[in-house]
Amino acid sequence: MSAVAYVTVDVFTSERFVGNPLAVIPDARGLSGDAMQKIATEFNYSETTFVLPPENPDHTARVRIFTPTAEIPFAGHPNVGTAFVIAQQPDIFGKHAGDRLIFEEDAGLVDVTLLREDGKIIGASIRAPGNLAIGETIADDLIARCVQIDAQSICRATHAPTFASVGLPFAFAELDSLETLARAWPNAAVFSEAAARHREDKTGFSLFLYVRPAENPWHIRARMFAPLDNVTEDPATGSASAALGAYLASLLPAQDAEVKITIEQGVEMGRRSLIGVHVRKSAGTVNEVLLSGRSIHVMRGEILL
């Protein structure tokens, strides 16, 4: 019988048992893709990461990301949490980790900067690997039926419900109030209908709902549902937050803009998360999306194989 070490962290928080839990396998050498999927399913977190030596020795590591049902090309909280974990090891596959890491992922290279406070690593900031891609719009009625709310509660003043991505696609819709956001709950059968109608994402149909208060439109409250991936609700979704920030910045009338956004997620689950998004737009094009957050260690142990 063999064993592989694991670490879990809570991401986008500095408080244990809130934020978004992540399992990290810091040395996944020798594990097949099938074994990785089984381990991710066993943890049943929204994502589990597996760290491997990089193909290019100038990079830090190759990182593979699995949901409970499938491998995905990129995600936000797995990168923030994985960087937090492996940067505190004595070395990463024989190399010392500086404050800048580069992860090889299916979506491309992910540039990571460690965040420190009084010399201690507290989290990480990552640069989204993909350019902003905007997909097709989605009918209000379909969004409403997915989460069992009134279609009249969907706001269209800024944008219609639509897909957007900076590495992983999500459906986005703005709602009229925190009360409507609190009432939302996924209907898996309708999510299956939506996935059949909109095949933007091979893993299913992931829906990110949000509310922007008039007094502070850059402090956003959100919820994310992906029941087809066995993630009924996710307490913090970095890749969706990055895509939303990029999309909202792209809609600003100014050709050049720099926007700092805080996205608060997981409140309704009792796992409050704070996600930082920093977007730069130049000559009408979003050219940089940074995603940042804190992490904290929770568990460590071994998986028996």
- By annotation, the residues acting in catalysis are 47
DSSP secondary structure letters along 131-161: --EEEEE--HHHHHHHHT--GGGEE-SS--S
Q: How far apart are CA 94 and CA 1, in angstroms?
A: 26
Q: Are 194 and 142 in contact (CB under 8 A)?
A: yes
- Residues facing 273 on adjacent strands: 265
Q: How far apart are CA 289 and CA 276, in angstroms?
A: 10
Nearest partner of 168 among 295, 59, 288, 73, judged by Cα: 73
Write the burial class of residue 186 (CB in 10 Å: 0-12 exposed, 13-18 middle, 19+ buried): buried
DSSP 264-296: EE-GGGT--EEEEEEEEEETTEEEEEEEEEEEE
| DSSP character string of 26-43 | S--TT--HHHHHHHHHHH
- SS3 helix, strand, coil % of the chain, rounded to 5? 25, 40, 35
Please tell me the distance from the alpha carbon of residue 62 to that of residue 106, in angstroms, as a whole number. Answer: 9
SS3 label, residue 99: coil
